[in-house]
Structure 1
Amino acid sequence: MSGQGLAYGAQFFDDCLLKENLEENHYTTYSSLSHPGFYLALSQKGELRKGNSVGRHQSCTHFLPRRTL
């Protein structure tokens, strides 16, 4: 993820590292390690959204719902 909040594909750099967080609603969010506060997000059309324009509680950042046992 770049400093402008855009996810991109390239060679592996430190910008590529993401932190996986299990949220209290049992969804998973992914945030950038090199740019704290930037989250991986998809729009309703499946396009990438800027990571600096979304927050962790927005539904566009929620991935892989988990079943509770």
Structure 2
Amino acid sequence: MEIRSVSVGVVAIKSVSTGLYLAMSKKGTLFGSVRYNPSCKFKERIEENGYNTYASLRWKHRGRQMFVSLNGRGKPRRGHKARRRHPSTHFLPMLPT
């Protein structure tokens, strides 16, 4: 995955192998988008523990942010099911080698 800065604190996440952008629907479902659009923008926050969280810039659920989250098997979770402090939302960016 490649993380590109769009503006201050806002990123776009793109798959290097497929060329698809990570996007979130209004219902909080993650999907791959061929074209970059407003659903592909995520707020990046560096947490106190050194991990990063990514919340949809465009969509909210009942006033709460929806986060990119993976379950224990690596499958995406719906955005409104996860909270910022939950470990399933924490990601550790790595520099390419």
**How high is the TM-score relative to the length of structure 1?**
0.87
Runs of 4+ in 1 over 3 A off after TM superposition: none
**2:59 aligns to what?**
35
1:65 CA displacement? 6.8
> 1:3-62 deviations in whole A, cap 9, x for unaligned?
100011122210011111001121110111001400000111000000111100000000
* Change in CA separation of 1:42 and 1:26 when aligned onto 2, cut-off 3 Å: same
Q: Which of 1 and 2 has higher RCO (CA within 8 Å, sep 6+)?
A: 1
- In 1: Cα distance, 2:25 partner to 2:54 partner: 15
Match status 1:21 vs 2:45: yes
**How high is the TM-score relative to the length of structure 2?**
0.63
The answer for unaligned runs of 5 or more in structure 1 is none
The answer for unaligned runs of 5 or more in structure 2 is 1-23
Number of residues paired by the alignment? 66
**RMSD between superposed Cα atoms in Å:** 1.6
The alignment partner of 2:80 has SS state of helix
What fraction of aligned residue pairs are identical, expressed as a percent?
38
Give the structure with the larger strand fraction.
2
- In 1: Cα distance, 2:93 partner to 2:56 partner: 20
